[in-house]
Structure 1
Amino acid sequence: MKLGAKFFMGMSNPVDAELWMKTLESIFDVIECSENKKLRIAVFLLKGKVADWWISFQSRYPDPSIMTWTIFKEAFYETYYPPFYLDAKQNEFLRLVQGSMSVAEYHVKFVELSKYASALVAEERDRCRRFEQGLRVEIWPMVIAHGHQNFGMLVEATLRVETSIREGSNQGAQVTF
């Protein structure tokens, strides 16, 4: 609990389930937890209806000793992080464009959603191209001309272009005739 583990009570938002599981896995990694202890700790942290779900799920297995962390994780994700949610997030990533967002906001959203479409952006080059495709029209041509192959450098260049455009339009607004 000192490392940030929390009880899970089955919020309706799949993001909460994902965050809970990722937090647990990070903690387990830090404390070098065995597979058996991972299962016991996770089950301990289930409360309310989720604890009832686990009891019901576990009853399907006549021999509780075959229950593993992997089985728990798969069942948990299937129940609290369903495939339709992942599909919706992947579609959101595929439709992502900068629109009225700043480059910094677009970058954050891109990184957040890209985990749902990791196969599409597995290679650095693909990640760069996908990011470029979503940029606003006034930024896109100036960025793609450089053919960035490194995502970090692409984002930095895009931030510079956005700043340059913003400063240019601010200077133009100050000119009086």
Structure 2
Amino acid sequence: MYMLTGEAKHWWRGTSQMLIDRGVVVDWVCFKRDFLEKYFPESVRHAREAEFMRLQQGEMSVTKYDMRFKHLARFYTQATSEAWKCRKFAEGLKYDLRRVVVPMAITEFPALLHIHLYLLIVWGDWVCRYLYCMLICLCLLCLQFL
């Protein structure tokens, strides 16, 4: 609240005083709710949620896709588990990567991202097609055959 400047600072001074005068406890939850209502309308939040549900990697790098995924995931209003986030992320990957990563059924997001980056950085894009076609069972974290 101390970081507000300009019009937002003026708005919050007036709003917080009005809330206090009405006997409302002004805490972080109260501030966040009122701030979002004022500066981030529900229609925009719904648009971001819909964008999240349609998100695909497309031409984005893995890092860019990860950043966009995490940014938009904040707007998803349903309760989600780590496993659900992993499935959603994996299903949005490029086809060659998705067909390798999805069957692994990884349920921890950092591990999913680590494996995806490892596949691309160390082995390159061709490994995804190779692993899929050869059906090799390989632990990608320790590089040992299973």
TM-score, normalised to structure 2, is 0.70
Alignment of 1:89 with 2:48, yes or no, is yes
Q: CA deviation at 1:153?
A: 0.7
- Structure 2: distance between partners of 1:103 and 1:156: 10
Do the aligned residues in 2 keep the contact of 1:142 with 1:161 (CA within 8 Å)? no
Letter in 2 for 1:137: Y
- Structure 2: distance between partners of 1:99 and 1:82: 28
For each residue in 1:147-168, what CA deviation from the matched residue of structure 2 results, as whole angstroms up to 9, or x when unmatched?
Answer: 1111111111111222223476
The structure-2 alpha-carbon separation of the partners of 1:74 and 1:153, relative to structure 1 and needing over 3 Å to count, comes to: closer
Does the residue aligned with 1:77 lie in a helix, a strand or coil?
A: helix
Q: CA deviation at 1:83?
A: 0.8
Aligned match of 2:138: none
- Structure 1: distance between partners of 2:7 and 2:112: 39
Aligned match of 2:26: 69
Unmatched 5+ stretches in structure 1: 12-45, 169-177
Do the aligned residues in 1 keep the contact of 2:48 with 2:75 (CA within 8 Å)? yes
- Structure 1: distance between partners of 2:23 and 2:63: 47
Do the aligned residues in 1 keep the contact of 2:91 with 2:102 (CA within 8 Å)? no
Aligned match of 2:86: 128
Identity among equivalent pairs (%): 24
Aligned match of 2:115: 157
How many residue pairs align between the two structures?
Answer: 124
Q: Which of 6, 9, 16 is the equivalent residue of 2:6?
A: 9
Do the aligned residues in 2 keep the contact of 1:133 with 1:140 (CA within 8 Å)? yes
- Structure 1: distance between partners of 2:12 and 2:93: 45
Larger radius of gyration: 1
Aligned CA-pair RMSD? 2.8
TM-score, normalised to structure 1, is 0.59
Q: CA deviation at 1:51?
A: 5.4
